[in-house]
Chain A
């Protein structure tokens, strides 16, 4: 089945520093990846849609200059939390759609990465 990896799995950083999170589709190509944020015991909040070769589409209320997204290849999207603050501490999960499904139109199913737990001190 489709596998999505994330790195790192957990990270602790100082306030004011930047943190990069990688999301990779391991056995399929993903023209579209999604970034979510999840607070403890809460739902997945869509932050942005990452499109290979173009700018990401951010959901309302998500600062694009703070959460930088780069989708440089068909298997890799990165989320950089810039000038991190304690309130950015959260669980960040990416997901990817398999481009090859539905004759190249992309499958509907999203495959999730294992998540990255970020703690900003």
Chain B
């Protein structure tokens, strides 16, 4: 079975802090994605990556950056956390070819105070 893990289930940070959210997948998938999910807005794509050291902006990249130094790991970075970044963050991965099925991690509930 595909397994996507996220470093924390719950995280509380202060405004202005630098925040790292980590995602690891164990199926050698090329594609990895970061989404945020908010009530009334649904899931929105922040960034995605096709391969190591490659990244593409999604629909809402402002205030975020990403890092992919190894194929299995995709990190989301909040350079200076703000209260409007309080949200559920979901990571996903998929094989590259053929627009295959996406597999999601359990999510990280981030609260910025």
Q: Determine if chain A interacts with chain B.
A: no
Interface residues of A (CB under 8 A from B): none
Interface residues of B (CB under 8 A from A): none
